[in-house]
Amino acid sequence: MQSRRPPSTDRVVFGVNEPQAAAPSARPDLLPSSVDPTVFDEAFLRQLEQLMLMTRKQVRGGLRGVRRSVKRGQSVEFADYRDYSLGDDLRSLDWNVYARLEKLFIKLFVEEEDVTVHILVDASASMATGAPDKLHFARRAAAALAYVGLASYDRVVISILQGRVARRLPAARGTNQIFRVLADLSAVRAGEGPSDLAAATRHYAAQLTQRGPLLLISDLFDPAAEKVIAELAGTRCEVSVLHTLSPDELDPPLEGELRLVDSESSVGVDVTADLATLDVYKARLAAWQATLETAAVKRRVAYLPVSSELPLAELVFAELRRRGVVA
Amino acid sequence: MPLLAPLALLGLLFVPLIVAFYMLRLRRTERPVSSTYLWAQLVRDVEANAPWQRLRRSLLLLLQLLLVLALVLVATRPFGERAAGLARDVILVLDASASMAATDVFPDRLTAAKRAALDALADLPADGHVSVVAAAGSARVVANEVTDRSRLTEAIESVEVSTGSADLTDGLKLAGALAARARGAEILVVTDDSAAEAPDVELGVPVRVLTVGRDRHNQAIVALAVRADSSGIKRSVFASVANLDSERVTRRLQVLADGVPITARDLALDALRRTEVVIDEVPAGTRVVEARLSIPETPGTTVAGSVDQLSLDDAAWAIVPSDRLQRVLLVGPGNVYLQNALSLLPNIELYGATPDEYPTTTGRELFDLIVFDGYLPPELPAKPILAIAPPRTSGLGAVSGKVEGPVPGEPASDEPLLRNVDLSRLHVAEAVLIELPAWARPVIPGPESPLLYSGLRDGLPTAVLAFDLRQSDLPLQVAWPILAANLAGELLGIDPEGVEPVTPGAPVDLAAPPGATALRVTRPDGSVVELPVSGAAGSVTFVGTELLGVYTADAVIPVSASPDPSASGSISPTPDPSATAPAEVETGPIRFAVDLFDPAESNIAPGNGERLVALGREAPDDAATSGVARDEWWVPLALLALALLMVEWLVYERDGARRLWAGIREVTTTGRFRRLTSSGRGR
């Protein structure tokens, strides 16, 4: 069996899994200069290799992999019998059945193929705000999930949602592709100006050909956020939405007479930020999240609200595991 | 609504100023956020750009405008008018006698009287003026025709309760004189009307009386004296305790000698009766006897009449006369009456010498008193002198002859030398015609010259009896030994019957020792008053006797004026600084006690004031009550402004207040949780 360990990681010293370790001196020698060194360390990678993105349904894959396919093929797992027909491989004959029944039957086995893991990263201007940065969190989460997919011999497709379009990064397969994935993610910058998440999602859904796990990492700050979920659910992929908000969006540290300026549209909203206003905001936020969750559940989409200050390990090993996204 | 200061309405100009400030204040700080998607849905206060719409929603602005309005109203001093209940000129007579210290009304009668006076003066016309007379032992004008209410209040509040007695006569006379200056004046008397007799005065103006006081629960020490027996050795304390209440009570009388308790007795005092107490256990050498009346504290039992509403008369002091042996030299041919009278006096050692022996007598400076009977030396000694029938002109007086059968005149009723002396049957056959010197006062006046006079001659007590005892029937009368004792007492500075107490507020003549430049009087509260001795008077008058208790007067004598030869004449090999720089030395102190021995003042039973009303004219002058009184409303407006200020602050800091409240709740909840946890662990 092929080793699932990336060949170059034992010589690479990754930064610790904390944002404050992103000092230039921590950059390893063999790490490409375009790769963010703070994504994860080696121990974390070892743990990620034990995970797999879950698929409830068997889907048809492309290449051989480790997931059960709807196709019959060669594996150790027996699936069914069928009558022998001319030209069949004689090695598949069940001689024991022939001895008992004097009829030729071919043993069918479950085919194991890969799946395509779709990771959608919202890179709109709103994702570049917050402390910690939501886009930074999204890139790290995407990298971790991509590594889980790569370690499972799955095909990983990362797409960046900006403006009204979805920009697909080159697909990767195999753990040796992780550095390219990291480099690609590190190059992702937040867009400027207004964005239309629903349009970008629709754009991605239109060009999706292979089904598999689909994970959207976004703050969903879009009036048509429910439509985004509906578009993704329409792809018949197993969709998971990581609704990412920063701590200052969950509990705004605002006070006084303020004009709040939208990072995308630059539209200002005047508020008197006092405790009553903040209480109403929090109530409104909770109601909005509840609405999104309801819409997600209705379409069998896994909805996962997370804070951008959530440690990556906790996200992967606790939250995503608890929701059955990874196992 | 009439305004006293309408110009203050200019303060309303602050209203547009505040609005302008508020509009400027609405410039908001820009804060970038990821998305205004959620905010836009809940923004409640400002979406419209019209500033008036913003202002309409601001509670703070509303409160600030109301605050300015309230402050402007306060500054304009709005008032209401009503008919005045008092005349334009009011003379307020405030009773400040000792009975006004009674505590039957809270906190005491004088404070209640001040409150009643201030309440009554609220009916004063707007242009009215008030004079305030404080009636204590003597009346004094505290404020004269005051129109300013604050000054009037200050003057009334400055009146303090006196320890003396007052029957309001002086106060009403003074008030009558003040009222006579203005037409239509009115006298307002605030008193407890507890005096036994109505004031003897007629007033031509209306008198209005406000009475204070409710009860009459009081017991008092109305007399305290220390008396010696005929031997002069044994001394007894005589105390008289009066129960002025209408019910029988029990009180404890404690007697202290120089501050040390010597006895305490529980006295059952009948209602409205006096009880005499004699205590013989006065230790030798005692200088001050103090008596205190208190409610006996017996645990578990109820003492009858446990209230004494006047404490001023529950303590009294008496000065014990000096025990020092006084030496008296009698110079004369011999007079058995005089010898007997003087030798029988306690603490007196009598020596005798004939006129021939006198010039050769040694140690004359050791005598405290020299009595010259029908003889005068060429040079008068610097000692107290009693001269009887001086034969010639001297410093004691100019002798111009003799008078046959002089008839004694009517002496002054308060003459201390004639206390308990009855001279109504005195007959004198012959007396020396002697002119009354300037330093003396006549004691027994005569037809042409006094028969007995006394005074301070160069600071030395001196008395002159103008007739020979054998030329009168005085030695045969009971009055003689008493007169002799009184003369010896004044000339020796002692009183065989003890030192009489001084009435509060009454002036006291203090005899300064020879050479004294000043007297330092220490009052019962410890304050010291220094009184200079002027010229040759030899005595000073002390008037600051308002406090009850023992006063001590110490003579201040410069060293250079001392008769001590070591300081005045001797030649010392080393310079004595005390001889060149006159230091001050002090002689023995003079003590006197100020006591409130006035049963009438101790009787605090309040009256209804009708007898005081009857002193004045009945119908008030029409012109007197035609004014209007003003009630200013600034106090409620100021309170309203204060309340608005507090509400405005609370609204402005409502976040902080809510956080504080939440913090307190959290602390209390956590504390309760910890208590429950710890108790759970304990179980």
d(CA B352, CA B330): 5
Q: Does residue A238 carry a pLDDT above 50?
A: yes
CA distance B576 to B584: 14
Same domain, B641 and B618: no
Give me the residue from B31, B47, B658 closest to A258, CB to CB.
Answer: B31
Give residue-wise pLDDT tens across range A116-139.
889 999 999 999 888 888 998 898
Residue B640: exposure state from Cβ atoms within 10 A (0-12, 13-18, ≥19): middle
- Euclidean distance between CA atoms B116 and B545, whole angstroms: 29
> pTM above 0.80?
no
Alpha-carbon distance of B22 to B55, in angstroms, equals: 8
Is A126–B35 a contact, with Cβ atoms under 8 angstroms apart?
yes
On whether both B206 and B102 belong to a single domain, the answer is: yes
Closest residue of chain A to B46, computed from CA coordinates: A270
Asked if residue B477 and residue B451 are part of one domain, the reply reads yes
Task: Name the residue with tokens 């121990």.
Answer: A43
In a domain, B482, yes or no: yes
Chain B environment of A196 (Cβ under 8 Å)? none
> Are A260 and B41 within 8 A, CB to CB?
no
For B61, the token pair is 């602005």
Å from B644 to nearest chain A CA?
21
> Which chain B residue shows the shortest CA-CA distance from A195?
B35
> A278: distance to nearest CA of chain B, Å?
10
Kindly report the CATH number assigned to the domain that includes residue B154. Answer: 3.40.50.410
Domain membership flag for residue B679: no
How many structural domains compose chain B? 5
Per-residue pLDDT band for A60 (boundaries 50, 70, 90) equals low
B450 and B551 belong to one structural domain: no
Same domain, B372 and B353: yes
Q: Is residue B394 part of a domain?
A: yes
B405 and B486, same domain (yes or no): yes
* Structural domain for B253, as ranges: 219-319
ipTM for this prediction:
0.74
Q: Give the per-residue pLDDT at A161.
A: 92
Residues facing B270 on adjacent strands: none
CB contact under 8 A, A271 and B45: yes
Do B179 and B313 share a domain, yes or no?
A: no
Residue B111 has pLDDT above 90, yes or no: yes
Q: Where are the domains of chain A?
A: 65-113, 116-245+302-322
In this predicted structure, what is the pLDDT of residue A241? 93
Chain B residues in contact with A259 (beta carbon < 8 A): 28-31
Q: Is residue B132 part of a domain?
A: yes
Say if residue B275 is in the same domain as residue B207: no
Residue B48 lies in a domain: yes
Report the C-alpha gap between B131 and B124 in whole angstroms.
Answer: 12
Strands annotated E in B270-347: 273-279, 288-294, 315-319, 326-331
Phi-psi label, residue B347: left if phi above 0, alpha if psi -120 to 50, beta otherwise: left
Per-residue confidence (pLDDT) for residue B371, from 0 to 100 = 93
B675 occurs within a structural domain: no
- Scan for tokens 């989460």, then name that residue: A141
Of all residues in chain B, what percent carry a pLDDT higher than 70?
Answer: 85
Is B571 part of a structural domain of the chain?
A: no
- The verdict on domain A116-245+302-322 having CATH code 3.40.640.10 is no
| pLDDT tens digits, B215-258 | 888 999 988 888 765 445 567 888 899 998 888 888 899 999 99
Cβ neighbours of A255 in B, within 8 Å:
655
Among the ranges given (A250-259, B37-46, B648-657), the one the predictor scored with the smallest mean pLDDT: B37-46
Rounded CA separation B521/B532 (Å):
11
Give the gap in angstroms from C-alpha B639 to the nearest C-alpha of chain A: 29
Q: Please check whether residues B105 and B57 belong to one and the same domain.
A: no
Q: Confirm or reject contact between A250 and chain B (CB < 8 A).
A: no
Q: Are A109 and A78 in contact (CB under 8 A)?
A: yes
- Tell me if B674 is assigned to some domain: no
Size of interface A-B (CB pairs under 8 A): 91
By Cβ distance, the residue of A249, A271, A285 closest to B43 is: A271
| pLDDT 10s digits, A25-58 | 333 333 444 444 455 667 677 777 777 666 666 6
Say which of A255, A257, A267 has its CB closest to residue B28.
A257
Q: Are residues B18 and B167 in the same domain?
A: no
Looking at the structure, tell me whether residues B253 and B339 fall in a common domain.
no
For position B522, which CATH number holds?
Answer: 2.60.40
**Do B351 and B270 share a structural domain?**
no
User: Do A263 and B25 make contact, defined as CB atoms within 8 angstroms?
Assistant: no
Determine, for residues B29 and A259 on separate chains, whether the beta-carbon distance falls below 8 Å. yes
By C-alpha distance, which of A237, A163, A228 is closest to A201?
A228
